[in-house]
Amino acid sequence: QSALTQPASVSGSPGQSITISCTGTSNDVGIYNSVSWYQQHPGKAPKLIIYDVSHRPSGISNRFSGSKSGNTASLTLSGLQAEDEADYYCSSKTTSSTLLFGGGTSLTVL
Amino acid sequence: ELQLVESGGGLVQPGGSLRLSCSASGFTFSYYWMTWVRQAPGKGLEWVANIKQEGIDKYYVDSVRGRFTISRDNGKNSLFLQMNNLRVEDTAVYYCVREGGGWYFDLWGRGTLVTVSS
């Protein structure tokens, strides 16, 4: 199975909003509300920021939000801050009872 | 404190074997599905395998099925990954991860590096 499709990179200025897309198929993103998003800073373990498409874990800023339409999920980050510069990964359950990650998106805060 | 600590990584030759361990603390280990996720140097995340609470139901990514075995010891709050017939492409940081109640990972270890090279 191929990885979910994410843009390799996105960028934005402080205070702006950005959106990262995550495109799968009808065998994963399109059929399950099990899309999650992770933030990973260099040299660190990933951190859960969104689960079940749009839910934020305790302690995660409400500047992060998630949504899904058809086979594509999206992560929106509003009010960009320098500390948001990191890699972001989406994931989804599949019909094979496995999990796929996206290829990752590098966010640059200009 | 909630914590997952991996161990057992290292350098191994192609075709060799390695056993990774993960020690859990700060939560009731037996309540959760557990997973191994890996990340090759400079690459993205890859789900490797997961195991249900009782240790019977297990699932694997195609590339490791038949070579890797995930297991757990709930009495010792430990997760394992037995890796046989290792390939160069298995080189990665391996993370021990807790599934938070669905197909998402709410607690990660710091990872252990496995290098497969001659």
A56: DSSP letter? P
Is B104 near chain A, with CB under 8 Å? yes
pLDDT above 80 for A41:
yes
User: Looking at residue B43, what is its pLDDT?
Assistant: 96
Is A38 near chain B, with CB under 8 Å? yes
Joined together, the tokens standing for residue A51 give 């689960």
Instruction: Note which residues in 32-91 of chain B have CB less than 8 A from chain A.
Output: 35, 37, 44-47, 50, 59-62
Is A52 near chain B, with CB under 8 Å? yes
Name the residue among A38, A39, A74, A70 with its Cα closest to residue A53: A74
**Average pLDDT of span A71-80:** 98
Residues of chain A neighbouring B45 (CB-CB closer than 8 A): 38, 40, 46, 89, 91, 101, 104
Segment B32-63, tens digit of pLDDT: 999 999 999 999 999 999 999 999 999 999 99
Is B96 near chain A, with CB under 8 Å? no
Segment B87-107, tens digit of pLDDT: 999 999 999 999 998 899 999
> What's the CA gap between B3 and B25, in Å, rounded?
5
The mean pLDDT of chain A is 96
**Average pLDDT of span A1-12:** 93
Q: Please give the share of chain A, as a percent, with pLDDT higher than 70.
A: 100
> A47-86: string of b/e by CB count within 10 Å (b at 16+)?
bbbbbbbbebeeebeeebbbebeebbbbbebeebeeebbb
Q: How far is A92 from chain B (nearest CA, A)?
A: 7
